[in-house]
Amino acid sequence: MPDEQMANGGGQRPARPLDTIDRAILNMLQADGRASIRSVAERVHVSRANAYARINRLIDDGVIRGFSARIDQERAGQGASAYVTLKIVQNSWRTVRAQLTELPGAAHIALVSGDFDVLLLVHTKDNQELRELVLTRIQSIPEVLSTRTLLVFEETDLGAEQS
């Protein structure tokens, strides 16, 4: 596999450079993933066919990884959110990641540098469910050496357009 393919995560070819129209399309779709091709085209001043082709290219290149809804976790019955930091056994990232992705309420997992190795965002019904998740499920993973839980008191979604 060529070095540039290895550097970007495997078998994917490198993404083509983005121009100002591509960036405008990405900003618009981040703010409203349900925007129609017509509204995207009008907003960035290109034809519908051009907007459609650009969005498909961004998807094919892996720049756009998917479309999803932004959820108010508390209104959806997930009243407790936390970032859990983990120290893990060296070279066990893939094994740990596979187990963390199976956890109920896991929303984001990142391999990071610094005082800990993994940053995990979780949403649970309440603090008791959060406690169970951390103390029983996460700490029982053999490659997890230690955890630290940071409760989220309030958050602001920067992906949403401010009204």
pLDDT tens digits for range 11-56: 567 778 999 999 999 999 988 889 999 999 999 999 999 999 999 9
Are 55 and 97 contained in the same domain? Answer: no
Beta-bridge mates of residue 61: none
- The total domain count for the chain is 2
Give a yes or no: residue 105 inside a domain: yes
Is-contact 60 12, C-beta < 8 A? no
Give a yes or no: residue 10 inside a domain: no
Are 145 and 104 contained in the same domain? Answer: yes
Are 54 and 110 contained in the same domain? Answer: no
Give a yes or no: residue 69 inside a domain: no
CA distance 53 to 26: 13
Are 39 and 88 contained in the same domain? Answer: no
The share of the chain scoring above pLDDT 70, in percent, equals 90
The pLDDT assigned to 69 comes to: 81
Axis-axis angle for helices 20-31, 48-60 (nearest 10)? 80
Give a yes or no: residue 14 inside a domain: no
The pLDDT assigned to 7 comes to: 41
Are 96 and 137 contained in the same domain? Answer: yes
Give a yes or no: residue 28 inside a domain: yes
Are 95 and 33 contained in the same domain? Answer: no
Extended beta strands in 6-160, E state: 80-88, 106-111, 118-124, 144-151
More confident residue, 82 or 12: 82
Q: What is the mean pLDDT of residues 138-158?
A: 93
For 143, the 3-state DSSP assignment is coil
Give a yes or no: residue 6 inside a domain: no
Contacts of 134 (CB under 8 A, 6+ apart): 82, 84, 147, 149
Are 78 and 54 contained in the same domain? Answer: no
How far are the Cα atoms of 8, 54, 94, 140 from residue 59, in angstroms, in the given order?
15, 9, 25, 37
The pLDDT assigned to 77 comes to: 84
Asked whether the predicted pLDDT for residue 158 surpasses 70, the reply is yes
- Domain extent at residue 37: 20-61
Burial 42-69 (b: 16+ CB within 10 A, else e): eebebeeeebeebbeebeeeeebeeeee
Give a yes or no: residue 11 inside a domain: no
The pLDDT assigned to 6 comes to: 39
For 112, the 3-state DSSP assignment is coil
Beta-bridge mates of residue 119: 85, 110
- pTM for the model stands at 0.72
Are 91 and 142 contained in the same domain? Answer: yes
Are 97 and 143 contained in the same domain? Answer: yes
Are 78 and 148 contained in the same domain? Answer: yes
The pLDDT assigned to 43 comes to: 95
Q: Is the dihedral of CA 76, 82, 83, 84 positive or negative?
A: negative
Are 145 and 79 contained in the same domain? Answer: yes
Give a yes or no: residue 1 inside a domain: no
Asked whether the predicted pLDDT for residue 119 surpasses 90, the reply is yes
